[in-house]
């Protein structure tokens, strides 16, 4: 009925004469504002002033959106309603799905289904106005769940941490604490998916204050790691009141660090271009697999924590997370890879946070003196570091992952420095033709750490998840997938990730702080590697390089 529609959409207080005056006003000013057709349209702010013309219009000169209940100045609309009936079901430019001139064709065909669902909610007389508003927000944000699940989750959130924050940090779309939060320069927060959906519709202004979003942020938003920590702290402070002291997940930056990287007299360039590494603070061998625990951290007794940041790769090396300060892969072709670094080296890389597609090394001509060629000139093969990654894939070894701020194509990279993001496992590897026309080695990394990722506000680590669909596998060659059970896997009884098989023994000396411990470690390694020529021949091992040279000389 029209009376119900008038009440729902806010027109119950406007008389027929007032609405007719509103339409007359719109037609009068429509010819005076041709720029409204070619620029961004803005609603009225909280004080009732139009954000476009800065004038506070009368009640008869405003229209209320039937979907979001936002007031709009009729004189500043590019396409005001033409008839009295159209004002009852009028939708604002944001909710109508009409693209801006600069973003024509950006919307897909699903918008009509969305608006049909919103109209179905509005026509449901069993819902209150508050319930209708909540369901509209869930539809727009894409978070539609069963009623039982929503009630259960809603109660848990209200009792756990929503009351800790006053709502000022909520996403402006879904009105919940943001998941993987993105903060605009104007200070408003959004979920990463909500923000990407808004940008995908061709919108380039903040949904809350209509400030212009910089093009760089619109094309590549970065997750606000500080806000992630705040949300996680709020969750823990409320849920762990009776559980004793709060568990600390992230490393607090220590400004007073000894033994920084240094330059010697042999350095050809200033700064850290030719710097030597400082002291290694952890007592793990260079070929150590898995996380670095507190027992290997004599200085701090806490280990390397997820989210720990360093100024550069040299400082990251000092804490053992990733030893090479230039190469992206740390490993040995016959032993496995211990760690990788995501630093924007290859255009083919795809970063999705909990999983990413990593490109192997090689295929570039590095014969110059700077060794910084980014153009690929031949195919990559499963050899050297690429083979080390395939061995880790085959055995299911844990691989430490660090991300650098130099990775400009990822929303999960830190804003500055280098960050340790935890343990991943390589599930598949293959070869495909890359962007530059040559074959590259590809690896699917999936996160499997007991600590939450730096970009999520969860208070628990990873759980086993199904592998994502990889479209490029249809045209891939040399596909390799692990057949046996992995060495690093999830323990259902302990509810955590751990070594299910014994870790591979180290083949390199341990960097122990105590001199006696160093001596014992070196002695044990020498004994393990001491084998006679006769034993090697009995085991069927190939001859050494010395034997090869003697044979060649005789021939």
Supply angle C-alpha 354, 357, 359, rounded to 5: 140
For residue 50, the surrounding DSSP H or E stretch is none
For residue 447, the surrounding DSSP H or E stretch is strand 439-447
C-alpha to C-alpha distance for 430 and 414, rounded to whole angstroms? 28
The mean pLDDT value for 212-217 works out to: 90
pLDDT > 70 fraction of the chain, expressed in percent and rounded: 68
Per-residue model confidence (pLDDT) at position 240: 58
C-alpha to C-alpha distance for 360 and 287, rounded to whole angstroms? 19
**Contacts (Cβ under 8 Å, ≥6 apart) of 486:** 395, 396, 397, 425, 500
- Let me know if residue 103 belongs to a domain: no
Q: Structure tokens of 472?
A: 């490029």
540 with 483, same domain: the answer is no
Helix (H, G, I), strand (E, B) or coil at 27: helix
Per-residue model confidence (pLDDT) at position 366: 73
Per-residue model confidence (pLDDT) at position 59: 83
C-alpha to C-alpha distance for 240 and 430, rounded to whole angstroms? 45
Per-residue model confidence (pLDDT) at position 255: 37
- Let me know if residue 470 belongs to a domain: yes
pLDDT at 550 over 50: no
C-alpha to C-alpha distance for 325 and 314, rounded to whole angstroms? 6
Q: Structure tokens of 258?
A: 């000894």
Q: Structure tokens of 263?
A: 């330059």
279 with 421, same domain: the answer is yes
Per-residue model confidence (pLDDT) at position 249: 39
57 with 177, same domain: the answer is no
Per-residue model confidence (pLDDT) at position 58: 87
> Could you tell me which residue, 284 or 168, shows the higher pLDDT?
284
pLDDT at 241 over 80: no
402 with 479, same domain: the answer is yes
Q: Structure tokens of 409?
A: 């194509």
Cα dihedral 152→155→158→161 (10° resolution): -50
396 with 332, same domain: the answer is yes
Number of domains in the chain: 4
**pLDDT digit string, tens, across residues 302-330:** 999 999 999 988 889 989 999 998 889 99
Q: What is the CATH number of the domain that holds 127?
A: 3.30.40.10
- Let me know if residue 102 belongs to a domain: no
C-alpha to C-alpha distance for 62 and 191, rounded to whole angstroms? 31
* pLDDT band at residue 508 using 50, 70 and 90 as cut-offs: confident
198 with 264, same domain: the answer is no
Show which of 170, 201, 233 is a domain's final residue: 233
- Let me know if residue 404 belongs to a domain: yes
- Let me know if residue 245 belongs to a domain: no
**Other CB atoms within 10 A of residue 485 CB:** 9
450 with 366, same domain: the answer is yes
Per-residue model confidence (pLDDT) at position 163: 56
C-alpha to C-alpha distance for 352 and 364, rounded to whole angstroms? 26
Helix (H, G, I), strand (E, B) or coil at 26: helix
Show which of 172, 200, 233 is a domain's final residue: 233
Question: Contact 381/395 with Cβ under 8 angstroms?
Answer: no
For residue 217, the surrounding DSSP H or E stretch is helix 215-219
Lowest average pLDDT, out of 100-109, 210-219, 221-230, 246-255, goes to 246-255
* pLDDT band at residue 263 using 50, 70 and 90 as cut-offs: low
Per-residue model confidence (pLDDT) at position 149: 56
Could you say which DSSP state residue 279 is in? -
Residue the block writes with tokens 């952890």: 282
The mean pLDDT value for 11-22 works out to: 45
The mean pLDDT value for 109-115 works out to: 63
- Let me know if residue 101 belongs to a domain: no
> Could you tell me which residue, 357 or 249, shows the higher pLDDT?
357
325 with 465, same domain: the answer is yes
For residue 488, the surrounding DSSP H or E stretch is strand 488-491
Per-residue model confidence (pLDDT) at position 110: 55
179 with 59, same domain: the answer is no
**pLDDT digit string, tens, across residues 418-474:** 999 999 999 999 999 998 899 999 999 999 999 999 999 888 899 999 999 999 999
Lowest average pLDDT, out of 24-33, 150-159, 310-319, 345-354, goes to 24-33
Q: Please, what is the average pLDDT of the chain?
A: 76
Lowest average pLDDT, out of 136-150, 215-229, 276-290, goes to 136-150
Burial 437-455 (b: 16+ CB within 10 A, else e): eebbbbbbbbbbbbbbbbb
332 with 475, same domain: the answer is yes
C-alpha to C-alpha distance for 426 and 390, rounded to whole angstroms? 8
- Let me know if residue 432 belongs to a domain: yes
Q: How far is CA 219 from the centre of its chain?
A: 14
* pLDDT band at residue 514 using 50, 70 and 90 as cut-offs: low
* pLDDT band at residue 238 using 50, 70 and 90 as cut-offs: low
**Contacts (Cβ under 8 Å, ≥6 apart) of 527:** none
Per-residue model confidence (pLDDT) at position 153: 52
Q: What is the CATH number of the domain that holds 317?
A: 2.30.280.10
308 with 209, same domain: the answer is no
Per-residue model confidence (pLDDT) at position 386: 95
The mean pLDDT value for 154-175 works out to: 63
- Let me know if residue 192 belongs to a domain: yes
* Boundaries of domain holding 538: 515-554
The mean pLDDT value for 216-221 works out to: 87
482 with 374, same domain: the answer is yes
pLDDT at 523 over 90: no
pLDDT > 90 fraction of the chain, expressed in percent and rounded: 29
pLDDT at 396 over 90: yes
């Amino acid at each position: 009925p029209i009376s119900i529609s008038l009440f729902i959409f806010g027109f119950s207080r406007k008389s027929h004469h007032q609405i007719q005056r509103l339409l007359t006003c719109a037609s009068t000013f429509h010819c005076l504002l041709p720029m409204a057709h070619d620029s961004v349209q803005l609603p009225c702010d909280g004080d009732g002033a139009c954000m476009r013309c800065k004038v506070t219009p009368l009640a008869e000169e405003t229209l209320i959106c039937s979907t979001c209940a936002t007031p709009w100045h009729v004189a500043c609309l590019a396409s005001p309603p033409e008839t009295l009936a159209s004002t009852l079901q009028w939708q604002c430019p944001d909710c109508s799905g009409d693209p801006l001139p600069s973003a024509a064709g950006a919307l897909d065909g699903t918008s009509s289904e969305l608006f049909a669902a919103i109209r179905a909610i509005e026509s449901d007389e069993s819902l209150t106005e508050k319930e209708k508003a909540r369901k509209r927000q869930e539809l727009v944000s894409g978070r539609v769940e069963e009623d039982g699940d929503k009630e259960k989750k809603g109660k848990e959130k209200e009792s756990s941490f929503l009351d800790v924050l006053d709502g000022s940090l909520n996403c402006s779309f879904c009105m919940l604490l943001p998941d993987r939060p993105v903060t605009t320069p104007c200070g408003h927060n959004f979920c990463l998916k909500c923000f990407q959906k808004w940008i995908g519709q061709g919108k380039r202004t903040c949904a809350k204050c209509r400030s212009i979003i910089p093009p760089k942020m619109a094309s590549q938003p970065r997750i606000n790691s500080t806000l992630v920590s705040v949300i996680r702290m709020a969750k823990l402070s409320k849920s762990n009141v009776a559980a004793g002291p709060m568990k600390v997940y992230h490393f607090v930056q220590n400004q007073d660090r000894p033994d920084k990287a240094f330059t010697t007299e042999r350095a050809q360039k200033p700064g850290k271009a030719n710097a030597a590494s400082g002291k290694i603070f952890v007592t793990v061998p260079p070929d150590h697999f898995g996380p670095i625990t507190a027992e290997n951290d004599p200085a701090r007794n806490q280990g390397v924590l997820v989210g720990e940041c360093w100024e550069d790769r040299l400082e990251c090396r000092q804490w053992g997370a990733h030893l090479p300060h230039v190469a992206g892969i740390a490993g040995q072709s016959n032993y496995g890879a211990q760690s990788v670094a995501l630093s924007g080296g290859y255009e083919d890389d795809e970063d999705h946070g909990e999983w990413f597609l990593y490109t192997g090394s090689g295929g570039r001509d590095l014969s110059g003196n700077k060794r910084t060629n980014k153009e690929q000139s031949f195919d990559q093969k499963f050899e050297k570091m690429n083979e080390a990654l395939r061995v880790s894939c085959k055995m299911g070894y844990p691989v430490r992952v660090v991300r650098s701020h130099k990775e400009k194509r990822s929303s999960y990279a830190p804003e500055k420095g280098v960050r340790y993001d935890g343990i991943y496992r390589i599930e598949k590897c293959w070869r495909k033709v890359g962007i530059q026309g040559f074959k590259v080695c590809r690896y699917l990394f999936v996160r499997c750490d007991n600590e939450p990722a730096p970009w999520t506000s969860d208070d628990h680590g990873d759980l086993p998840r199904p592998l994502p669909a990889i479209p490029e596998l249809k045209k891939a060659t040399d596909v390799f997938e692990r057949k046996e059970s992995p060495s690093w896997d999830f323990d259902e009884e302990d509810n955590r990730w751990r070594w299910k098989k014994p870790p591979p023994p180290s083949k390199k000396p341990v960097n122990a702080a105590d001199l006696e411990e160093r001596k014992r470690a070196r002695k044990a390694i020498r004994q393990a590697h001491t084998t006679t020529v006769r034993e090697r021949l009995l085991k069927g091992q190939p001859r050494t390089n010395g034997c090869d040279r003697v044979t060649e000389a005789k021939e």
